[in-house]
């Protein structure tokens, strides 16, 4: 992920200017990395090492989303909608 794209994602989901580690920001960053890796795996079908990394990122995002849901249902729904995670 390019630095400019990362800054854009952080700015969109951060609570304040220096917020880079909140759960919402982490979920947003993981989602962009997951989307990029999914595109990579569509062309490189036999890349099992990247697939394993993808699965670990999906699991980490799931745990963070569960944490956000436990803390605030409204923030969870907003995050799901803004990242388009549910169809």
Q: Do residues 10 and 26 make contact, with C-beta atoms less than 8 angstroms apart?
A: no
What pLDDT score was predicted for residue 27?
A: 97
Domain 22-83: which CATH class?
mainly alpha
The Cα–Cα gap between 26 and 13 comes to: 9
Q: Can you list the positions of beta strands (E) in the chain?
A: none
Confidence (pLDDT) at 2: 87
Domain map of the chain by residue range? 22-83
The answer to whether the beta carbons of residues 82 and 13 sit under 8 Å apart is yes
| pTM higher than the cut 0.75 | yes
pLDDT of residue 24 exceeding 70, the answer is: yes
């Amino acid at each position: 992920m390019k630095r400019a794209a990362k800054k854009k994602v952080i700015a969109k989901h951060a609570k304040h200017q220096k917020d880079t580690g909140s759960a919402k920001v982490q979920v947003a960053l993981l989602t962009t990395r997951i989307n990029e890796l999914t595109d990579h795996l569509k062309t490189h079908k036999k890349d099992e090492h990247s697939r394993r990394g993808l699965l670990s990122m999906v699991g980490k995002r799931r745990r963070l989303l569960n944490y956000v849901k436990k803390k605030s249902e409204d923030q969870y729904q907003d995050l799901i909608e803004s990242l388009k995670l549910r169809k």
